[in-house]
A and B are shown apart, each in its own frame.
Chain A
Amino acid sequence: MPNLQVNLATLAHRDLGPLGMNRYGSCPLLRYDFNTDSPPLPLRSMVGYLVSLIVLTAIYALFSLGLNLHWGFTGLINFGHAAFLAIGAYTTVLLSLAGVPIGLAALAGGALAALLGLAIGVSTLRLREDYLAIVTIGVSELIRLMALNEEWLTKGSFGVQGYDLPLADFRPTVATRIGMIAILGAIAALSGWRLWQWMVRRLRGVDRAQLGQTALVLAGYVASLVVLFSGIGMTSRALKLANTLPGGVLILLLLGAIVAVGWLYGWIARRLIIPKLPHWEAGAVLLSTIALSAFGFWIFGVSAVALYNYRENPSRNGLMFLALITVAVTFWALERLVRSPWGRVLKAIREDEQVAKALGKNVFAYKLQSLMIGGFIAGWRGVSGLAVEYGISAQFRDANHL
């Protein structure tokens, strides 16, 4: 199916911005349905679309993990995380274009991003904390302008293109593909288990029967909201059609009734029932766990289908596989770090660095380490080839908006 391949390839590049919208503000998925001569199987195009979305999500997840180490755990006000991202991405891609193996290039990208952290940290971390904020903004702007103007190196605003994606030539056998699916399955199972543990912890000591009641009412409330909003959507659509269609009035009345029912039930639930429910937070915990599990299971299903049909789009599916593994490994490593005595010092610095100092901790050294490791995480995601996602200059622009 050549048509599908072409469309997915364009989707792979700049056309797909954040949220999966293309630059015209419409969803590519819909474009396949209406604009192609031979419509691809809806399921396949949806899988391709979701795979792109998973890769994007992974990029931002890694970005946030590094930033969370800075802001969340150490209290370092870093306004220029995109600078770490850009250094890592450009280093990885340019080195791999020069013939360096992608794994080494990605490590170099991470290392250079960490060095940027060192440079920023050494110059500002001993001053009051405002200066770190100022300098990080300045440095990220500096690097953005350099990337934009040093065209001999970075191709300016065109961005570097035409490099090899990792695993693009990889043609896994059935056994390998099933192995890859099993690895993702293990990650999914582990996440599910953690979610389950969280829920069990939160629901400890809550009466089962009351919990069931509460969850049912809350589910009804959420359903009423869904009915309400989709009803409003459909009604406004019907309003447009009502001019041309006979019987449009009937449709309008029907939809109006749906909206009214959704609103009424929602109002009754919110005003009269929910406040009287015991443990309504527990019900929300239960509901959100169920919803998250279902969503996670669905995403796992999609990625499993994509991996099984690896040939449909090797580079993209390979990218997704590497991206998910990178996120999982990074998350695991960070969790381990922040739960260690090392992480305890970071949290102490966040809370009150004078106390950390008075208790014999070298505050400066720890801040520097945090800055470098967070930078490395932003830089090293090139390991999964994420640097190359939809052209690195575009990515940097987006990231700079954060």
Chain B
Amino acid sequence: MNDTTTIPILPVLSAAGLVKSFGGVVAVNEAAIEVVPGSITGLIGPNGAGKTTLFNLLSNFIHPDRGRVIFDGEPIQNLPPHEITQRGMVRTFQVARVLSRLSVLENMLLAAQQQTGENFWSTWFLGGRIAKEEREARDRAMEILASIGLVEKAQDYAGGLSGGQRKLLEIARALMTRPKLILLDEPAAGVNPTLIHQICEYIGDRNRQGMSFLIIEHNMDVIMSLCDRVYVLAEGSNLAVGTPSEIQTNPNVLEAYLGQ
């Protein structure tokens, strides 16, 4: 991969030669992707192009047949998913998954990393430290919930949230892990236009504070307004890469989307 980026810094995430087949179907075929720190990188492609599978390969929810994923300078393709999250790369799901019978606040608290209280023995002997960590995590969770507009719902069951609010909670929860990079799988899917606008603004805000994003999205307005670079995937392989305006005028991309 020899891309045109002139910034001489290492990508926070780079993957190359990723292959995954299910039986005879090659879902991802020699795909490659790079995310520059502090950027919002988009990933688009027609239905069935393998975008979500590529996400699963990056976060190792599905183990790749071949290929290599480097995050923050270290190979992660053989790490279990939870360790990848612990290293600072967190993912969300295409259909928002919330923990229904836990409160919104509990959903947030769960996401905090390196909690002393999550160790069985510590729960017995380190009560004071756990209480202190819980207070801090709570404050931080309420802060994030306030910024994303869910603070009123903090004590409600997450199962009672609307589709759009679930998307917001997923993003908030991902932020709670203090990540270096967030992989968002269709943050605007099934969300009303007002809320889409709000989600986009929020992602933009966080990005200006230094957070990197990799976003799968079908909504072109979202991609065009947010992304610095866009990768196009078709039939499991890279089709094109460039700025949003370059992609929009790329004949290959138009062909992949609309047919000849």
Other-chain residue from B82, B92, B130, B177 in contact with A362 (beta carbon distance below 8 A): B82
Other-chain residue from B93, B109, B113 in contact with A344 (beta carbon distance below 8 A): B109
Name A359's closest neighbour in chain B (CB-CB).
Answer: B111
Does B102 contact A344, Cβ atoms closer than 8 Å? yes
Known: A336-B123, A340-B117, A341-B117. A360 touches B82 (CB 8 A): yes
CA distance A344 to B102 in the complex (A): 9
Other-chain residue from A341, A345, A348, A354 in contact with B93 (beta carbon distance below 8 A): A354
Most A CB atoms within 10 A — which of B91, B98, B119, B120? B120
Report the number of A-B residue pairs with Cβ-Cβ less than 8 Å.
Answer: 84
Does B100 contact A351, Cβ atoms closer than 8 Å? yes
Does A359 contact B130, Cβ atoms closer than 8 Å? no
> B26 at the A/B interface (Cβ < 8 Å)?
no
A-B contact pairs, 9 of them (CB 8 A): A341-B117, A342-B120, A344-B110, A345-B118, A348-B110, A352-B99, A358-B90, A359-B90, A359-B177
Known: A336-B123, A341-B134. A360 touches B113 (CB 8 A): yes
Output the least CB separation between A157 and chain B (Å): 38
Does A342 contact B110, Cβ atoms closer than 8 Å? no
Q: Which residues of B contact A357 (CB under 8 A)?
A: 61, 81-82, 85
Output the least CB separation between A208 and chain B (Å): 26
Q: Which of A355-402 contact B (CB under 8 A)?
A: 355-363, 369, 373
Does B80 contact A362, Cβ atoms closer than 8 Å? yes
CA distance A340 to B110 in the complex (A): 11
Other-chain residue from B85, B116, B120 in contact with A360 (beta carbon distance below 8 A): B85
Output the least CB separation between B207 and chain A (Å): 21
Name A363's closest neighbour in chain B (CB-CB).
Answer: B82
What total of chain A residues lie within 8 Å of the partner, measured CB to CB? 24
> A316 at the A/B interface (Cβ < 8 Å)?
no
What total of chain B residues lie within 8 Å of the partner, measured CB to CB? 34
Does B99 contact A361, Cβ atoms closer than 8 Å? no
CA distance A63 to B154 in the complex (A): 35
> A100 at the A/B interface (Cβ < 8 Å)?
no
Q: Which residues of A contact B130 (CB under 8 A)?
A: 340-341
Q: Which residues of A contact B123 (CB under 8 A)?
A: 336-337, 340-342
Residues 322-342 of chain A, each 1 if its beta carbon lies under 8 Å from chain B, else 0: 000000000000001100111
Does A359 contact B59, Cβ atoms closer than 8 Å? no
Does B115 contact A348, Cβ atoms closer than 8 Å? no
> A81 at the A/B interface (Cβ < 8 Å)?
no
> A347 at the A/B interface (Cβ < 8 Å)?
yes
> B68 at the A/B interface (Cβ < 8 Å)?
no
Residues 205-232 of chain B, each 1 if its beta carbon lies under 8 Å from chain A, else 0: 0000000000000000000000000000
Known: A345-B110, A347-B101, A352-B99. A358 touches B115 (CB 8 A): no
> B51 at the A/B interface (Cβ < 8 Å)?
no
Name B133's closest neighbour in chain A (CB-CB).
Answer: A341
On A, residues with C-beta under 8 Å from B are 336-337, 340-342, 344-345, 347-348, 350-352, 354-363, 369, 373
Output the least CB separation between B124 and chain A (Å): 8
SS class, residues of chain A in contact with chain B: helix
On B, residues with C-beta under 8 Å from A are 59, 61, 80-83, 85-86, 90-93, 97-102, 106, 109-111, 113, 115-120, 123, 130, 134, 173, 177
CA distance A358 to B62 in the complex (A): 12
CA distance A352 to B61 in the complex (A): 14
Q: Which residues of A contact B120 (CB under 8 A)?
A: 337, 342, 369, 373
Name A341's closest neighbour in chain B (CB-CB).
Answer: B117
Q: Which residues of B contact A373 (CB under 8 A)?
A: 120
Name B83's closest neighbour in chain A (CB-CB).
Answer: A360
CA distance A336 to B119 in the complex (A): 13
Does B119 contact A342, Cβ atoms closer than 8 Å? yes
CA distance A360 to B109 in the complex (A): 12
Most A CB atoms within 10 A — which of B82, B130, B173? B82
Q: Which residues of A contact B100 (CB under 8 A)?
A: 351
CA distance A340 to B91 in the complex (A): 25
Output the least CB separation between A122 and chain B (Å): 16
Does A359 contact B97, Cβ atoms closer than 8 Å? no
Does A359 contact B85, Cβ atoms closer than 8 Å? yes
Other-chain residue from A336, A337, A344, A358 in contact with B81 (beta carbon distance below 8 A): A358
Name B80's closest neighbour in chain A (CB-CB).
Answer: A362
Q: Which residues of A contact B113 (CB under 8 A)?
A: 360
Output the least CB separation between A80 and chain B (Å): 23
Output the least CB separation between A254 and chain B (Å): 53
Known: A340-B123, A360-B85, A361-B82. A354 touches B61 (CB 8 A): yes
Name A370's closest neighbour in chain B (CB-CB).
Answer: B120
Q: Which residues of B contact A360 (CB under 8 A)?
A: 82-83, 85-86, 90, 111, 113, 177
Other-chain residue from B61, B82, B99, B117 in contact with A351 (beta carbon distance below 8 A): B99
Output the least CB separation between A147 and chain B (Å): 30
Does A355 contact B134, Cβ atoms closer than 8 Å? no
Does A354 contact B97, Cβ atoms closer than 8 Å? yes
Q: A344-B109, A358-B59, A360-B83 are in contact. List 8 more A-B contacts (CB 8 A).
A: A341-B134, A345-B110, A356-B110, A357-B81, A359-B110, A360-B111, A360-B177, A362-B80
Known: A340-B117, A342-B120, A348-B110. A358 touches B91 (CB 8 A): yes
Q: What are the 5 closest A-B residue pairs judged by CB atoms, nearest first?
A: A341-B117, A360-B85, A351-B99, A340-B123, A360-B86
CA distance A373 to B99 in the complex (A): 24
Name A343's closest neighbour in chain B (CB-CB).
Answer: B123
